[in-house]
Amino acid sequence: MVSQTVKCPSCKTIMIITGEPGEKTSITCPSCEQKGVFTIPGEKSTAPTLSQQTAIEVSGLRKTYNHVPAVDNVSFSVNKGEIFGFLGPNGAGKTTTIKSILDLIHADAGSITINGIDVRTRGKEAKKYVGYMPEKVAFYDNLTAIQNMNFYAEIKHASKQECVSLINELGLGDTGKKRVGKFSKGMLQRLGMARALLGSPPILILDEPSGGLDPRGVVLIRDKILEMKKKGTTIFVSSHILSEIQEICDRVGIINKGVLVAQDSVESLSKKLNLKPQMSITLDKLSPAVEDAVRNLPGVEHVVSKGNTLEIICDGAMKAKVILAITNAGANIQNLQTKEPSLEEVFMRYTEA
């Protein structure tokens, strides 16, 4: 929404109108009642929207370098509006997959569509839906941040005002006129995020977006990702910082040695692996009778005592029964902590040699 002041042509009364840029509004002057049509200045927002439920579809992707497969028969899909985390150890094929989605790398086999459009044959059209932040963010060092962004905006058919507002949003407002060659790694990363957001694409592809950032930068990027999700943006993010992905992702795909080994929500992946939550219960006094009562419960796998604390690994459904057994045995619970299986455990299991 943009506000604009207009002057009535006959009685010179000043009015304020609001609307989207490019929108035509009919107005009536409040004092002399003259009617008129006013077009709000600026280019009409041409941000594309997704027409398909599947934002990105990769099927049977294969790419070999010198007869060694970098990715082999990788298939997955990213649904409209979700955050999809793409995980894997270094050299697993994450960047190869991402670059194939953007047709930067020509795959040997398989098909990739963005919003149902084949990237290989209709790349230009498909890429309109995508904003991309590469793992290695690079700009033209001799040009300023604003000059760089203006160049990319011209290619993406975005406006110059958008460049300025994105630079401000990413906290680079006071460095817009500085040569990018003098930027720190963190500033480059933010500018890279601003570039990916140009033209409000409905899909964001982020390759290790918080690599090399200080904690403040990591939070800024994560907040930006969540903010974009709220606006309905589909986000495909690769990362090795698992704790971060776990917090924000709806689903994850795990790739290892070029093969996609898992694709699901973190919760169902840990269920599939039969990973169990861990409980840590501190009691007023720990007697062997209490410990035995817990140990004899069905579904309890592992019990260790440390001082007045019991460390228990059990089925998720048994947690309440464990607590009941302890109180029935006459002990009082002073502190209780449970740790759900983490993405890290899921990841380690799937990428084990």
Which residue's structure tokens are 């932040």?
Answer: 133
Nearer to other proteins by Cβ, of 123 and 277: the residue is: 123
Nearer to other proteins by Cβ, of 124 and 177: the residue is: 124
Nearer to other proteins by Cβ, of 98 and 254: the residue is: 98
Minimum Å gap between C-beta 215 and other proteins is 24
In order of 36, 56, 150, 262, 269, the CA distances from 344 in angstroms are: 63, 25, 40, 14, 11
Token pair listed for 276: 């169990």
Which residue's structure tokens are 């001082």?
Answer: 307
Contacting positions for other proteins (CB under 8 A): 99, 102-106, 123-124, 127-128, 130-132, 134, 136-140, 142-143, 147, 151-152, 154-157, 192, 195, 198, 205
Cβ atoms of 135 and 91 within 8 Å: the answer is no
Q: Which DSSP symbol is given to 4?
A: E
C-alpha span between 63 and 68 (Å, rounded): 8
Minimum Å gap between C-beta 5 and other proteins is 32
3-class secondary structure, 157: coil
Minimum Å gap between C-beta 84 and other proteins is 18
Minimum Å gap between C-beta 127 and other proteins is 4
Measured distance between the N- and C-terminal CA atoms of the chain, rounded to whole angstroms: 54
Which residue's structure tokens are 């890279």?
Answer: 192
Minimum Å gap between C-beta 125 and other proteins is 8
Nearer to other proteins by Cβ, of 62 and 156: the residue is: 156
Which residue's structure tokens are 């930006």?
Answer: 224
